[in-house]
A and B are shown apart, each in its own frame.
Chain A
Amino acid sequence: MRRVAIRGLLSRKLRSALTAFAIILGVAMVSGTLVLTDTIEKAFDSIFSSSYAQTDAVVSGKKLVEWSQTGKATVSPDLLRRVQALPEVEAAAGTILDMSGDSNQAKILDRDGEAIQGNNPTFGLGVDPGDETFNPFRLVEGDWASGPNEVVIDLGTADAEGFRVGEQVQVAGEGPVRSFTLAGIVRFGDVDSLGGATIALFDVATARQVLDKTGFDAVAVAARDNVSAERLIDAIGVALPDSVEVKTGSEQAAEDGEGVGEFVTFIRYFLLAFGGIALFVGAFVIFNTLSITVAQRTKELATLRTLGASRRQVLRSVVLEGAILGVVASAVGLGFGVLIAKGLTALMRAVGLELPQASMVFATRTAVAAMLTGTIVTLVASVWPAVRATRISPISAVREGGMVVKKPSRKTLVIGLVLSALSVAGLVNGTLGNDVSALVRVLGIAGGVLGLFIGIALIAPRLIRPLARLVGLPGARLGGTAGRLAQQNAIRDPGRTASTAAALMIGLTLVSFVAVFGKALLASDESNLRKQLGTSHVITSQSGWDTVPVGAGEAAAGAAGVELASSIRGDRAQLTGGGEVDVSGVDPATIGRAYNFEWIEGSEAALASLASGGAVVREGLELPGGGKAGVGDRIGFLTPAGKRVETVVHGVYEKHGDLDQLLGQVVLSQAAFDRSFPRPADLLTLVQADSTAGLEHALVAYPDAKLQTGEAFIASWTKWLTDVMSLFYVLLALSVIVSLFGMVNTLVLAVFERTRELGMLRAVGMTRRQVRRMIRHEAVVTSLIGAALGLPLGVALGALVTQSLSQYGVSFSLPVVPLVAFVVVAIVAGIAAAVLPARRASRLNVLEALQYE
């Protein structure tokens, strides 16, 4: 029986290959994701550990606030001198090398005077020319930067922009643009590429000046010979202030990598989810193909039974077929993963997320995970067809007629209906239910969607006839007899058409959901920003999320034609007894005209109290003792600089939506902000101006400052949402492609089954073209059934989720253009799937076909 399984697979090569592809793609996505994220992780590891390669101990500010714009508290020069004086210390140097946050940003300008952009970090770092111990860079050309007028840049940027040693390069740090002589070109440690990041490297004194830092990021220390790291750390630890700590180099590297590590982990699971969806669709395809194969082999299997094969042997032979398929497909998919990793890198670059690369990491874990998931999914999908095979009785061997199309069974329908009902209940409870725990919500939604897919696939055989009649109408009209026959072919075996269409339905449901949900979020985000913004123009950094030097806002305020310019500082802080919050520093005199406050508590007068050290807070700010902050409440927080700030709430302003906010949860005066936060800079400057000529002139010295109209600003601030939607579309396309293989498969099997019929049609006058058209139309009918199931389901899910978010101002509306586009995609998909089967059908030799049994 084992030989029967293997021979069977080999004798149906094309079919086996097509079936395998359904699994290969999903497995490739899984292994590709793991390869990619491992590689990125290694690259970051190597970046961070190179920073501390020769370093026995690091003295640095404690990380008080995550994702701060300004990084950690700096280490004072005074402390450096004290460390240098210790007897255990061989060498110690103040460094400006922190690459873990956004604190060391200096933008290099291209030859057109534009900041070299992307959503990538633009590091400004400091290394002293004589320092060989702690320098993680390697000189490729020229010399180290020395003195206030020299800079060194990274090889990637130099290559990309064509900069040569000796020429002038413009750099914008925390201040106006300055010109530097390019002293040399470096590469960083062993890393091939830093992604899209740029590096401007100065000597330490110049770096501090460019970055407006009073101290150092860290003091790197090398121990004397025969002084252990522990002893060194103990010795340094004795005289450290509160805001500063000492660690070994590798501990520091690990800490620097934490944030990035979380980010990479998020990307890993995000991408794996799409691999999972592709595998789920693949399971449908496997199930369908094996079911058809078993039906077509009825006679063969029955003959085996008459020859004495037991039910169990039949079961084993079909499952074995699945197992071999699964193992081979997984192995191939594992290999394809490398290609997928490359594709994903390109995809992320396209949405502005360029990540550093090291040499490819292919972990054992990747191989194990890919092989296991692929094989298990295939095995599970082959169980039911195998069970069905065991139900073939030996008598079928001698019975005429071979294949019998079974009417969709009542039991299947009932199971499908019950499953769908349960899933809908879970979904409604998960989205609209009150007082439901997060876990129940997630289980309700995820399980509900999954269950609904299976449930609808079970009900679908009953829906095929009416749906085929509906979606086949244009084809039957346009395609003549071929079109009509195609429509009828599609409903010949409703079960088969149903599960083929259901595979496509899954992908189409998910993209429709994304379209509905994305449109709703985008509309609500835009309208919420419109409600907040009270001026005609906005100045941001080029990227939109970096800060802009304070000077830019001040220059704008003084520019000709400007009626009002109100700049908003921004950073994060650690709320005493609570979580992290965004804090804004505003100009109390102008903010009331630039931002449309709507007061929940207090009034416009609260803004005046900012000048005397008060605060206004956004609606819903949680207090440490529970409850929401109101007028009169005291709040305290810790800034990234390590300063504790205490203040009193004078007003509570209304929150507009949850996505994009112009102001933080806590709003202070700029004077108070600048006292407590390190190196204050502006996130936004809201400008009311009739003409922009004067403004543009005033901003020339700040190339990273970007002036936009209010609407353009809203569009660019919400662009991340469209980017995320595009990313979803591309990743879901993978599942659609998987279902295409299923469609090709079903059609090839149908052509094979209908050989004699095709011969007769050709004999009575059907041309090859008509044959091709007939197959093509059948494919389009199938894919349109997939769309007819998937689009409404996706829209319904989208409506449910938007409804559940209605309290946040998210409201449902039908995204007509994307939905029409998806229908077109379905049609094109059907046509593409039909190419190969149609060619096979039209090339059949009429005579052989007629004689075919």
Chain B
Amino acid sequence: MNAVLELQQPAGIEARTVVAAQDLTRTYGAGETAVAALRGVSLEIPRGHLTAVMGPSGSGKSTLMHILAGLDKPTSGTVEIDDVEITTLRDNELTKLRRRHIGFVFQFFNLLPMLSAEENITLPLSISGAKIEREWLEELLDATGLADRRRHRPAELSGGQQQRVAVARALVSRPTVLFADEPTGNLDSQTSAEILGLLRGAVETYGQTTVMVTHDPKAATIADRVLFLADGLIVKELGRSSQAEILETLAEVGR
């Protein structure tokens, strides 16, 4: 069963699809022990939206995100990012695509311990050999509240600060899409709120298209749209919702 989605467009933003997936399946292993993590997912991510992907543990959220981001290949189906079909690209082309189009925020912050906060933020640019726009960097540092911590190493930063560095690192190359996998999974509720504020702010201020995987209903309240995954299928979709609505839907799809 394919869940084809009708898009609900927030007023004032011209909806243009940035990421489009068709009939994605992903099976791990083969034969008796094969696990179908995705069983036929189609979706479109519109520009300037924050899309949350929710679902019980093991429902296929991370798998979906990895495939959308070009980190993994689907067993069948296609993914287009900015109208480029990515499932047939070779490793080098994919790497180049990631440099241009994709930013990541991970659950474990994954900063390089020997680099300063600022160096960690600009790492994607220096890897791709792109020029660092000073103004943009300063703006990011200000927005993430790291301006006075720029010379600090990750070990000298709190968890929340480290994740803010990670968010700034994901934004620095102005990616077409930002993917965040459980960005608050490793943080307390106070710092979680800060990070969510940052992500939402990026959407509001820069129109940053964002896909966030989370199992935290509170996190999903910042999303323009919430997709619910269960057993490798999209089973439900909500627009901007309250925590109560999300909890209710979760309980529903959890059955």
In the complex, whether A485 has a CB less than 8 A from a CB of chain B is yes
B115 touches A481 (CB 8 A): no
| Residue A442 CB within 8 A of the other chain | no
Interface string of A486-497 (1 = CB under 8 A from B): 001101100000
Contacts A480-B126, A481-B127, A761-B127 hold; do A847 and B114 have CB atoms under 8 A apart? Answer: no
Q: Are A492's CB and B95's CB within 8 A?
A: no
**Shortest Cβ distance from residue A777 to the other chain B in the assembled complex, whole angstroms:** 14
The residues of A that contact B126 with a CB separation of less than 8 Å are: 480-481, 484
Check if B115 sits within 8 Å of A763, measured CB to CB. Answer: no
How far is A760 from B129 in the complex, measured between Cα atoms in Å? 17
Please tell me which one of the listed residues B72, B113, B114, B128 contacts residue A765 in the complex, with CB atoms under 8 A apart.
Answer: B128
Check if B152 is an interface residue, CB within 8 A of chain A. Answer: no
Contact residues in B for A764 (Cβ distance below 8 Å): 98-99, 103-104, 123-124, 127, 169
Task: Find out whether the CB atom of A846 lies under 8 angstroms from the CB atom of B114.
Answer: no
Residues of chain B within 8 A of A761, CB atoms compared: 123, 127
Partner of B98, one of A482, A488, A763: A763
Distance (whole angstroms) from the CB of A850 to the closest CB of chain B:
7
User: Which of these, A482, A768, A846, contacts B92 with CB under 8 Å?
Assistant: A768
Question: Within 8 Å CB of B108, what residues of A?
Answer: 756
Q: Tell me how far the C-beta of A812 lies from the nearest C-beta in chain B, rounded to whole angstroms.
A: 41
Kindly state whether residue A353 has any CB partner on chain B within 8 Å.
no
> What is the CA–CA distance of A469 and B60 in the complex, to the nearest angstrom?
46
With a CB–CB cut-off of 8 A, which chain B residues contact A768? 91-92, 95
B110→A846 contact, CB < 8 A: no
Write out the residue numbers on chain A whose beta carbons fall within 8 Å of the beta carbon of B95.
762, 765-768
- Scoring B91, B92, B95, B124 by chain A CB atoms within 10 A of each residue's CB, the highest score goes to B95
Complex CA gap A485/B114 in Å reads 9
Chain B proximity of A475: nearest CB distance (Å): 15
In the complex, A763 Cα to B110 Cα: how many Å? Answer: 11
How distant is the Cα of A564 from the Cα of B123 in the complex, in angstroms? 80
B112 contacts the other chain (CB 8 A): yes
Judge whether A633 is part of the interface by a CB distance below 8 angstroms: no
Q: Does B66 sit at the interface, judged by CB under 8 A?
A: yes
Please tell me if the beta carbons of A485 and B112 are within 8 angstroms of each other in the complex: yes
Contact: A847 with B72, CB < 8 Å?
A: yes
Q: Does A782 contact B (CB under 8 A)?
A: no
With both chains docked as a complex, state the minimum distance between the C-beta of A295 and any C-beta of chain B, in angstroms: 15
Inside 8 A of B98's CB, which chain A residues have their CB?
A: 763-765
Residues on the A chain within 8 Å of B3, using CB: none
| Contact pick for A760, options B66, B110, B173, CB 8 Å | B110
Instruction: Identify B115's interface contact among A488, A765, A770, CB under 8 A.
Output: A488
Contact with A along B96-108 (1 / 0, CB 8 A): 1011000110101
Q: How far is the CA of A770 from the CA of B96 in the complex (A)?
A: 12
Residues of B within 8 A of A258 (CB): none
CA distance A762 to B110 in the complex (A): 12
B112 to chain A, nearest CB (A): 6
- B60-98 contacts to A (CB < 8 Å): 66, 69, 71-72, 91-92, 95-96, 98
Q: How far is the CA of A763 from the CA of B166 in the complex (A)?
A: 13
A853: nearest chain-B partner, CB-CB = B108
CA distance A492 to B169 in the complex (A): 22
In the bound complex, residues from chain B placing their C-beta under 8 Å from that of A658 are: none
A764-B168 Cα distance, complex, nearest whole Å: 13
Q: How far is B91's CA from A766's CA once the two chains are assembled, in angstroms?
A: 11
- Chain B residues with Cβ below 8 Å from A481 are 123, 126-127, 129
**How near does chain A come to B89, taking the closest CB pair, in angstroms?**
13
Instruction: Write the nearest CB–CB distance from A70 to chain B, whole angstroms.
Output: 73
Quick one: which of A456-493 are within 8 Å of B by CB? 480-482, 484-485, 488-489, 491-492
Q: Name the distance in Å between B81's Cβ and chain A's nearest Cβ.
A: 14
Cα–Cα distance between A760 and B72 once the two chains are bound (Å): 14
Q: Do A756 and B110 touch across chains, with their CB atoms under 8 A apart?
A: yes
Bitwise interface map of A from 828 to 846 toward B, beta carbon under 8 Å scored 1, else 0: 0000000000000000001
Q: Are B112 and A847 in contact (CB under 8 A)?
A: no
Q: How far is the CA of A492 from the CA of B114 in the complex (A)?
A: 7
Among A489, A492, A760, A770, point to the contact of B106 (Cβ < 8 A).
A760
Q: Are B114 and A488 neighbours in the complex by a CB distance under 8 Å?
A: yes
| Bound-complex Cα distance A491 to B71 (A) | 31
Determine the chain A residues whose CB is within 8 A of the CB of B66 once the complex forms. 847
Please indicate the chain B residues that have their CB under 8 angstroms from the CB of A485 in the complex.
112
CB distance from B238 to the nearest CB of A (A): 29
Cβ contacts A741-762/B at 8 Å (1 or 0 each): 0000000000000001101111
| Least CB separation from B114: chain A residue | A488
> B225 → chain A, closest Cβ, in Å?
25
> Shortest Cβ distance from A751 into chain B, in angstroms?
15
On chain B, the residues within 8 Å of A760 by CB distance are 104, 106, 110, 112
Cβ contact within 8 Å between B112 and A757: yes
- CB A414 to nearest CB in B, in angstroms, measures 27
Alpha-carbon separation in the docked complex, A343 to B114 (Å): 45
Chain A 430-451 near chain B by CB (<8 Å), digits 1 or 0? 0000000000000000000000
With A765-B128, A766-B127, A768-B92 already in contact, the answer to whether A492 and B71 are too (CB < 8 A) is: no
Q: Flag if B169 contacts A767 (CB, 8 Å).
A: no
A480 vs B72: C-alpha distance in the bound complex, in angstroms?
28
Residues of A within 8 A of B69 (CB): 763
Q: Which residues of B, 152-184, contact A by the 8 Å Cβ criterion?
A: 169, 173
Give per-residue flags for B119-140: 1 if the beta carbon is below 8 A from chain A beta carbons, else 0.
0000110111100000000000
CB pair B114–A491 under 8 Å, yes or no, is yes
Which 3 A-B residue pairs are closest in the complex by CB-CB distance?
A: A765-B99, A760-B110, A481-B126
- 12 contacts across the A-B interface (CB closer than 8 A): A757-B110, A761-B123, A761-B127, A763-B69, A765-B95, A765-B98, A765-B99, A765-B128, A770-B127, A847-B66, A850-B71, A850-B110
Apart from A492-B114, A764-B127, A765-B173, list 20 A-B contacts with CB within 8 A. A481-B123, A485-B112, A489-B114, A491-B114, A759-B110, A760-B106, A761-B123, A763-B71, A763-B98, A764-B169, A765-B95, A765-B98, A765-B99, A765-B124, A767-B95, A768-B91, A770-B127, A846-B71, A850-B71, A850-B106
